Amino acid sequence: MKTTIRTAEHKWLAFAITSLFLLLFAILMIPAKTEAMPAFARKYNVSCNTCHAAYPRLNEFGEQFIADNYRMPNWKDSTTKTGDDMLALPSSVPLALRTQAYVQGRESSAVDVVSGETDTADNDMQAPYLIKLLSSAPLSDHISYYFYAIFAEKGDNGSVIVEDAWFSHDDVFGTDISMMLGQFQVSDLMFPRETRMTFQDFMVYRMAGLTYDRGAVFSYDFSAVDISLGLVNGNGIEDNKTINSPGYKRPDHMFDNNSGKSAFGRLGGDIAGINLGLFGYAGKQYNATGDAGMDNGDRQADKNAWGIDISGKIGYKTWWFAQVIQNDWDGFINEGQQYRWTGAFAGVDYIHNDHWTYSLLYNYADANDLKNTDTVYEGIDINSLTFTTSYYFMRNVKGIIELNVDFLDTVDKSGTYWTGHLTSENYALVGFDAAF
């Protein structure tokens, strides 16, 4: 329905009622114990728990599987026997699916930042939330590929978007340097968003623009430390322009929108069982302009970031992790002005047993210099705690209960546009997440 932002009291009542309904629904959906082997493990005829402490959280074997270029030593056993040593075709097309569906009760709304008109749904059937098609396989002794495409992401029926899509080589020119070329998330060098246990995201990665891009990453392991260096276009994964300067109907497209590239890297290592990493990013982005800063201008501004990530394990059931990133967006809105802001998150995943897992995720960001700019970037401010419980019906099928508590005070409209923390983002969510 169309309305203005409603009172906090009204929304809190609706939120509480919806949360109670969702909690009752979640309790009723828990069945007897079962065991299974998911389709993702078909190639090697192993269970999901070979690589996952609890899907999608990786265990040590799963992390080594990735380090070994997404393969086990016996990967050729499942290839087609053609008698040609120059061909290593998988015996079947390696495909997997991941699907998600949720019911959510929330306080937040969709606001038109220009007019203030608001679409509100205190309870929302978000089903399907997404349908993801994945594929990965070794192609030679040193080359693997990986991609996934999402159908109807977040309710956008009729759409298909390819996010991760890359080739990897684990021994470039016999140097032990590994390379990945394609489309990937810059933030995967720290904590991959796709393997988090919560519905809630690692928000600083999204707000800092450190997710999907096109480029290459080179990595080398020095035993004590490992180093990764990369270059990306710096404009995300949506741009593609027809190259027509030579004439009409040329077939090629241009993926970048300028000649500059963004450089990034991470230096990491283990100290007494704790993994510590230093991250840096240096590039350009077009300035923000238009209504509430939602359009791109034609001036390139500096986009720099640096961060620290730390993670470890307590016993054999508990994983913990934390990330802090400082962002410097000099000249992003007004030329010559500095815009600096900080974001962070910290979390704990506890694998209680084969059926139950519990996760906590704390997100924090201070918009700092972007406050009072009358742009959507005032909304970088976040201060929330998320609690997630998952029940595994099977290794590859789980039910989720998640509660998000917002600690930020709401603000009133103070400028020309409807920007900033206009409503709370408390929510309660239940649903299903399956891979097969």
- What is the tens place of the pLDDT at every residue in 205-246? 999 999 999 999 999 999 889 999 999 999 999 988 999 999
Q: What is the pLDDT of residue 431?
A: 98
Residue 365 CB contacts under 8 Å (≥ 6 apart), including other chains: 203, 204, 207, 341, 342, 343, 344, 380, 381, 382, 383
- Predicted pLDDT at 92: 87
The reported pLDDT for the residue numbered 31 is 38
Stretch 283-294: mean pLDDT: 96
Quick one: which of 424, 414, 416, 420 has its CA closest to 370? 420
Q: Which residue has the tokens 């590039």?
A: 283
User: Do residues 429 and 103 touch, judged by C-beta distance below 8 A?
Assistant: yes
Q: 297 vs 12, which has greater pLDDT?
A: 297
pLDDT at 265 over 90: yes
| Residue 189 pLDDT grade (very low, low, confident, very high; cuts 50, 70, 90) | very high
pLDDT at 41: 73
Q: 38 exposed, middle or buried (CB, 10 Å; 0-12, 13-18, 19+)?
A: buried
Cα distance between residue 375 and residue 248, in whole Å: 40
Q: What is the pLDDT of residues 314-326, one digit of tens each?
A: 999 999 999 999 9
The closest alpha carbon to 170, from 138, 194, 195, 192, belongs to 138
Q: How far from each other are the two terminal CA atoms of the chain, in whole angstroms?
A: 37
Domains, the chain, ordered by start? 2-41+107-121+170-435 (2.40.160)
145 pLDDT higher than 90? yes
Q: Which two tokens stand for residue 95?
A: 């495909």
SS3 8: helix
Helix (H, G, I), strand (E, B) or coil at 250: coil
